[in-house]
Amino acid sequence: MTERTKATAPFRIGVALSGGAAKGFAHLGVLQALEECGKRPDIIAGNSAGAIVAALYADGYRPEEIIDLFMDRDFRAMTQWQLPQKGFFETRRLLDFLRATLRHQFLEDLPLTVRIVATDLDHGTIKVFASGPLADIVLASSSVPVLFNPVVIDGVTYVDGGLFKNLPASVLRDDCQYLIGVHLNPKQPTEYKKNIIGIAERSFAYIYRANAMLDRELCDLLIEPRELSHFKLFSVESARELAAIGYQEALHALNEASETPT
């Protein structure tokens, strides 16, 4: 993308939010820092945890309010274990929560433009949603295969967008003048649990990190909080600590950058 093309892009600042399960609370700290520095995004793309944050933020919730929404809910409150059929956990409770919490029913009605990435499991392709039932789309983007049930929308089966594009930077690159990427899986800890959840978590993390490499290069500013590698997949109780890490990392990155538009 040339500098001339960037200058004529329809949106000024775009933010791409990666997946990362509970680490997604770090996105809230990043968004708070961007606002305080006068860099509120004009368009957001999100995958998985990034899709949840993008939807709620665009829906009008403040970063601190989003943390409060989840503080009294743990993984068990949002899911229900089932005899494995399509996934180990049924996510109807999470869908009900999203439908009850989101003020807008359709993605295209959000006051801030949002694009959400999911994986079309039937055809093996990336799906970038710009319209449709908001809660269902967010859940589809967040449905890690095998762990959670897939989501069917208009007869098509969808799972976590991170299988192909964990950091959805390319989704926004042609549409914004300045692109900020927030990548929550920069490295893996040395130790991990040798059980089914630990193995699945580590395996998917390798996939997510590998497919983010090209998208990382597309960002004008890349924020990768290294401290996040020490947190567990569903560490909802650490929400405020995770947000604080994202906040500090974003401030540091913005201070280091010299070409961020004002």
- Indicate the SS3 state at residue 74: coil
Report d(CA 250, CA 244) in Å as an integer: 10
- pLDDT at residue 81 is higher than 70: no
If one compares 116 and 82, the residue with the highest pLDDT of the two is 116
- pLDDT tens-place string over residues 8-42: 899 999 999 999 988 999 999 999 999 999 999 99
Contact 254, 260 (CB under 8 A): yes
What helix, strand, coil percent values describe the chain, rounded to 5? 45, 20, 35
- What's the pLDDT band for 77 if we cut at 50, 70, 90? low
Tell me the average pLDDT of the chain: 88
Identity at 7, one-letter amino acid code = A
Weakest mean pLDDT among 59-68, 79-88, 93-102, 188-197:
79-88
Four-way CATH pick for 14-255: 3.40.1090.10, 1.10.287.3610, 3.40.1050.10, 3.40.50.2300: 3.40.1090.10
Global pTM value? 0.88
Strand order in the sheet with 80-81: 80-81, 87-90, 146-148
Which residue is associated with the tokens 């949106």? 11
Contact 169, 183 (CB under 8 A): no
Q: Calculate mean pLDDT across residues 56-69.
A: 96
Query: Domain-by-domain residue ranges, the chain?
Result: 14-255
Question: What residues are annotated to the active site?
Answer: 48, 160
- pLDDT tens-place string over residues 146-167: 778 899 999 999 999 999 999 9
Quote the tokens at residue 105.
């029913």
